Structures are given as C-alpha cells and as structure tokens.
Amino acid sequence: MSQEVTIVRNVLEANDRLAQELENSFRVKKILCLNLMSSPGAGKTSLLEHTLTDLKDEFKMAVIEGDLQTDNDAQRIAATGAQAVQINTEGGCHLDSGMVLEALKSIDTEGLDILFIENVGNLVCPAEFNVGEDYKVTLLSAAEGDDKPEKYPFMFHISAVMLLNKTDLLPYVDFDLEKATSHAKKLNADIEVFPVSARTGENLGKWYEWLRKKRAEKL
Amino acid sequence: MSQEVTIVRNVLEANDRLAQELENSFRVKKILCLNLMSSPGAGKTSLLEHTLTDLKDEFKMAVIEGDLQTDNDAQRIAATGAQAVQINTEGGCHLDSGMVLEALKSIDTEGLDILFIENVGNLVCPAEFNVGEDYKVTLLSAAEGDDKPEKYPFMFHISAVMLLNKTDLLPYVDFDLEKATSHAKKLNADIEVFPVSARTGENLGKWYEWLRKKRAEKL
C-alpha cells in the first residue's frame, strides 16, 4: 500500500503546483475565484443563476461547470448571459487544477471580476483538490439534514462560507439551523453562514454583500 | 500518469478479489447482502430504521455503517434492536471489501438473513468498489432533483433498485417522477423503481416485497 500512498501524495502535490499557477494568474488579473462545492442537488447551479442575474450590472462573471456527464448546467448558466464552460470528468469525482487550466483557455478573462468554479456534486473528494480559488464555498441543503457538517467535517473545516440552502423546505423537514451552524463553527470558527433559498431567491443579500467585499479586497 | 492508472487498477483488482471472498461466504451462509448508496442525506439510515423495525419478526438482519466520522448512524440502527457495526473511513470517500471483512468480525452471522452495508454518502466513488453484495441499491431524494440519474449515470447503471425517497416533499420541490424514472431506465432497463418516504414510512411495501423475493432466491 505504500506505493499507493506515494502516488496519492504525488497527485496532490502536482495539483497544488498547478493550483499555485492559477492563483498567481487570478491575482495578477484581479479575478476573485470561488470554488463552489456540495452534495449532488444541493442547489449550486440555482444559486449561480440568481447570482449571475442579480449582479450582472455590477460584475463581469464567468462559470466553469464540473460534471461527470452532460452540459445541462452550462446551458442553464449560459441562459443568464454569463460565460460558461463545461468540464466533463467522465466519471471523475472532483475537478483538479489541470482541468481548470484547460477550461480557462475558453474563457475571456479580460476585465473578468468573478470566476465561479462549480465542482462535481460530492461532499468528500473535491475538498482535497485546490483549483486556484481564493475561497471554498459549500452549500448544504436543508433536506440533507443538520448532521452533515459533523459527518463530513473536512469540507466544512476548509470552507470560508456555508450557504444553508433550501430554507423554503424548513417547514417540511427535520432540520435545526442552530445545530448545523454550531457544528460547522466547531469545525471552523471563522466560517460565515448564510441561510438562503436559491429556489425562491430569498435572503441572498448577505451572500451578495460577502461577494462585493471579497471582490473589493482583490483590487 | 500511467503509473497512477496502474495503481488505481491494482487497487480495484485487489478489492475485487476480497469482494469475491465475501460473496462466496455470503452464498455459503445464505445471507442476502445489499450495498446501499446515495448522496449525503438522501435517507439511507431512515430507510433502514423502518425496514429493520417493520421486518424484525421475519428476518434476522444486521447493518455495517460507513461514515467518514461519528457513530451516529450505528447508534440509530442499534436502537432498532438490530446488530450494527460502524466503520469510520477517516475521510475516505467509499467503503471497500477489506473494511467490510474487518467489520464482519464483529457481527454474529449465525442465522443472519440480510446484511445491509450502508456506504459513505457519495453518488460517485462507492459505485466503483464491490463489497461482496448481491445487489446495489441506490436512494435518490426528491429534493436532489430529477436530473441526477442523467448527471451521475454510473451509479444508476449498476444499481438493481432505485428508491425515490422523500416523496413527502414532492409538493414543495420541482421533481418529475416520470423524468427521473425514464432517465434511470435508459441507463439500466432492469432497474426497479420504488417511490417511498423513509420519513413517514409510506409506500415501503414494494421494497419489502422485493427484499422477501431476493432473500428467498438465496435459499
């Protein structure tokens, strides 16, 4: 098994070198880059649809979409008018920096303010692979249960933001907002928690404020 | 990268050899073994709580629980009176046959009828690793969206059953049962689809019938 461990380490180190390249390039170009992660169906694409529409007069934004198959999500993003590039991992469980570097060739980064990277729906593996982002942002759907930060701790430990999505379902599920928040804060005292509904578009104001602040800090 | 590909293949082959050992042992002991998979929070443990309670006079059942961290789920299972063993993968994204062999040492398999293996919540990686099961069973929550079979095709391709869970949320989400079913059947014409609510316990009858039939076939 030690050969396997060495290979895994080499893969992660090679990824980190490319992530550093991406990070440098985003710094020079003053692009805020966010790595969006969650379980399948937690609402990443819906959140982006609202964000790209509501902030389109303030920022030039683009999206790299990661999926095992299909370009459904890239089509939904393109319908908002934003640039969208689809990466199909062909079964792969996460995006890596090599894939993002390749996808970036199809994006016009001139004057770009914010780049969203929507990772493969998976609360485990994407957490291990940096893709040059300034921050990791994790969505947790109220339908998934308030125990998820405790059960998938690494993802919440390394995220700057936890968006508690699908608050419109709170009356119909057993989900304790306080419990989920306190578990997440135990893993990461600095995590910002924003309860939102990406379906109805409610309560997105604090998320937008956070984006404005973080974008301003890149200038 | 070819060294990496070789290692991945070796890991899968080593797993398949142990899976074969497990399968042989389950055949000799006439235990029906099911590998339960889904996204995080799709309702695997809730489904098991109902199943273990409702069928406890018919079958002797045990559960191997896979999680990155915590033994919350094993405790929920043990509360039904069934045997439960927790595997913590310490961050690992799936169970493998070595882990299951180890966990089995803590289970009394004498007279056991059904062994459920509840995998790590992840719609991607667990699909690659056989754990000696007779069948793979996948849960899809209505809150995750009807596009998930299309977007995570391998999991549905290899599953014998898709439990469409959280039907109690159907009035409050955009989920087309027909669309999800037809996508799943395109990937796997033989897949059995059972809409259920593991929260309310409704519509579990067809799932129980399927269990009885598959258990009888092992005798």
DSSP state string for B32-70? EEEEEE-STTSSHHHHHHHHHHHTTTT--EEEEEEESS-
Distances (CA, A) of A96 to A35, A127, A172, A188: 11, 10, 37, 24
> pLDDT band for position B3 (50/70/90)?
confident
Measure the CA–CA gap between A17 and A22, rounded to whole angstroms. 9
**Which chain B residue has the Cα nearest residue A199?**
B173
What is the tens place of the pLDDT at every residue in B50-79? 999 999 999 999 999 999 999 999 999 999
The pLDDT of residue A2: 67
Contacts of B122 in chain A (CB under 8 A): 93, 122-125
Residue-by-residue pLDDT tens, chain A, 219 positions: 567 778 788 889 999 999 999 999 999 999 999 999 999 999 999 999 999 999 999 999 999 999 999 999 999 999 999 999 999 999 999 999 999 999 999 999 999 999 999 999 999 999 999 999 999 999 999 999 999 999 999 999 999 999 999 999 999 999 999 999 999 999 999 999 999 999 999 999 999 999 999 999 999
The pLDDT of residue B6: 81
B68–chain A Cβ distance below 8 A for any pair: yes
Asked if residue B7 has pLDDT above 90, the reply is no
User: Strand B114-118 and strand B83-88: pairing?
Assistant: unpaired
What is the tens place of the pLDDT at every residue in B67-115? 999 999 999 999 999 999 999 999 999 999 999 999 999 999 999 999 9
Contacts of A143 in chain B (CB under 8 A): 41, 141, 143-144, 166, 169
Structure tokens at B156: 């549905």
Domains, chain A, ranges and CATH?
11-217 (3.40.50.300)
Task: Identify residue A15 by its one-letter amino acid code.
Answer: N
What is the tens place of the pLDDT at every residue in B145-181? 999 999 999 999 999 999 999 999 999 999 999 999 9
The pLDDT of residue B35: 98
> Which among B192, B204, B162, B196 has a CA at the least distance from the CA of B54?
B204
Place of tokens 């908002």: A80
**Which chain B residue has the Cα nearest residue A3?**
B7
ipTM: 0.94
Contacts of B3 in chain A (CB under 8 A): 7
How close does chain B come to A126, measured CA to CA in Å?
10
The pLDDT of residue B9: 84
Contacts of B39 in chain A (CB under 8 A): 39-41, 121, 123, 144
Secondary structure of residue A99 in the 3-state scheme: helix
Phi, psi dihedrals of residue B41, rounded to the nearest 5°: 75, 20
Structure tokens at B117: 């293996």
Interface contact A143-B169, CB threshold 8 A = yes
Q: Which of A151, A165, A174 to mutate to test the interface with B (most CBs of B within 10 A)?
A: A151
B145–chain A Cβ distance below 8 A for any pair: yes
